[in-house]
Amino acid sequence: MASAASLLAIDQRIIELESTIADARLTKRWALAWISLGNILLIGAVIAGNVLIDFSKPGSGRFLLNAMGAIATLISIGLSVSLWREARSWEREQIVQLLQAQAERRSEQVATEPDSSASPPFQDYYRSIPDLRDEYRKGAEKYRGRHNLFQLTVIVGSILTSVSTTAAAEQGIWSWIAVGLSALVSVSAGIIAYFKFRERSLNLQQTADSIDLEVQAYRLRIRRYKDLPPEEASSVFAEEVERIREEQRKKELQLEQPPEAAPQQRSQPI
């Protein structure tokens, strides 16, 4: 029981490390976007100020504008590069700790196997299940993040499009901004509808949870594994996990089909 508790603690640590790595990668992406896009926009703002501002008026100085813009740009570049390097170092440290935790989990799994007399192929199969479960969970998080990104683009873009359309009545440049935002919203909505990130994330998360529940039931010898001989319990466990994986593959194939083909497939007799 102590080994099982230790294995659960290691699994919890792995989940926390994976979440920390995801946060570090997100920070690194934002820093990279700041380096490439944010600083370019800042330089563009300084150039636009030189073009659009009338420096012939009293109190306006081109030198002051350029000096402040240059200082702000240098500070921005320095901070963004520093943030990116710090996030990269943080990510590498967490990856090392994750690999160590995964090695500890593999060693602990030998002591927590319900039946050490099982065949070597089944023991290898049983030890690979946590990695398979984690792979499904990572896929679910990846698709969930993509769905949230494009959905947020649709929501914010729709609001900004309405505002730009209203402002276009006074200034012509806003009409072009409204057109660009409308195109961005349409493209984002089309990507969501075609790739179905939310459905993929939900299916992968359900599969990972089902595998996790099956592993716990097999360890505790409850539900379908209650009072079963060790050899039969091992066989039932492998069959159930493969059934869950097969259902996941079928769900993926259904998502790959065009919308008009789904009703036809459901209407066909099985």
Q: What is the mean pLDDT of residues 119-133?
A: 85
* 53-92 pLDDT per residue, tens: 767 766 567 788 888 889 999 999 999 999 999 999 999 9
Name residue, tokens 């949870």.
Answer: 209
- Domain membership flag for residue 107: yes
How many structural domains are present in the chain? 2
If asked whether residues 131 and 55 sit together in one domain, one would say: no
pLDDT single digits (tens) 27-63 = 988 898 888 888 888 888 888 878 777 677 665 677 8
Do both 100 and 137 map to the same domain? Answer: no
Amino acid at 2: A
What is the per-residue pLDDT for 270?
39
| Other Cβ atoms within 10 Å of 237 Cβ, number | 24
| 106 and 135 part of one domain | no
* pTM score over 0.85: no
Pull the structure tokens for residue 80. Answer: 């963004």
Same domain? 17 vs 126: no
Instruction: Name every residue whose Cβ is closer than 8 Å to that of residue 254 and which is 6 or more positions away in sequence.
Output: 262, 265
- C-alpha 148: how far from chain center: 9
Q: Say whether both 124 and 34 belong to one domain.
A: no
